[in-house]
Chain A
Amino acid sequence: MSSNFHITFIQPYAGIIIKICRAYSHSQEDFEDLYQEVCLQVWRTKENFRGNSEWSTWIYRISLNVCLTIQKKEAKRTFQSFSLDSVSEVQSNDSSSYQEESLSDLYKAIKHLSDIDKAIILLYLEEKTYKEIAEITGINFSHIGVKIQRIKNKLKKLIK
Chain B
Amino acid sequence: MDKSIENIWKSGYVNKEFILPKIEKMYNQKSISYVEKMITGFKWEVYILIPATALIFLFNIWLENDNAIFWGIISSIPCVFWFFLGKEQLKSLKKHDYLLSSYDYLVSIRAKLISIRKYNRNLAIFSIPIFLFPMLLYTYYNQAGKTIGEIFGVNGFNYSTIYLFLLLPIFTLLIVIIANINYKIVVTKTTTGIDALISEIEELKE
Contacts and interface: CB of A to CB of B under 8 A. Distances in A.
A105 B18 CA distance: 19
A81 to B, nearest CB: 22
Contact of A99 (B12, B17, B20, B22): B12
Nearest to B204: A1
A155 interface: yes
A33 B8 contact: no
Given A32-B21, A125-B5, A99 B11 contact: yes
Nearest to A151: B5
A118 B13 CA distance: 18
A106 B12 contact: yes
B6 interface: yes
B95 interface: no
Interface in A77-136: 93-94, 99-100, 102-103, 105-106, 121, 125
A150 interface: no
A152 interface: yes
A18 B21 CA distance: 9
Contacts of A1: 23, 203-204
A138 interface: no
A40 B26 contact: yes
A27 interface: no
Contact of A106 (B5, B25, B200, B203): B5
Best-surrounded residue of B6, B12, B13, B23 (most CB of chain A within 10 A): B12
Nearest to B24: A36
Band of interface residues on B: 20 to 34
Contacts of A147: none
A2 interface: yes
Interface string B17-40: 111111101100100000000000
Secondary structure of the A side of the interface? helix
B44 interface: no
Given A99-B8, A121-B5, 6 more contacts: A2-B206, A31-B21, A39-B23, A102-B12, A106-B12, A125-B6
Contacts of B6: 125
Contact of A36 (B3, B9, B26): B26
Contacts of B91: none
Nearest to B206: A2
B11 A156 contact: no
A54 B79 CA distance: 61
Contacts of B16: 15, 94
Contacts of B11: 99, 102-103
B204 A19 contact: no
B111 interface: no
Contacts of A39: 23
B14 interface: yes
Best-surrounded residue of B14, B23, B29 (most CB of chain A within 10 A): B23
B8 A102 contact: yes
B5 A36 contact: no
Interface string B68-110: 0000000000000000000000000000000000000000000
B26 A106 contact: no
A139 interface: no
A14 B18 contact: yes
Interface in B107-131: none
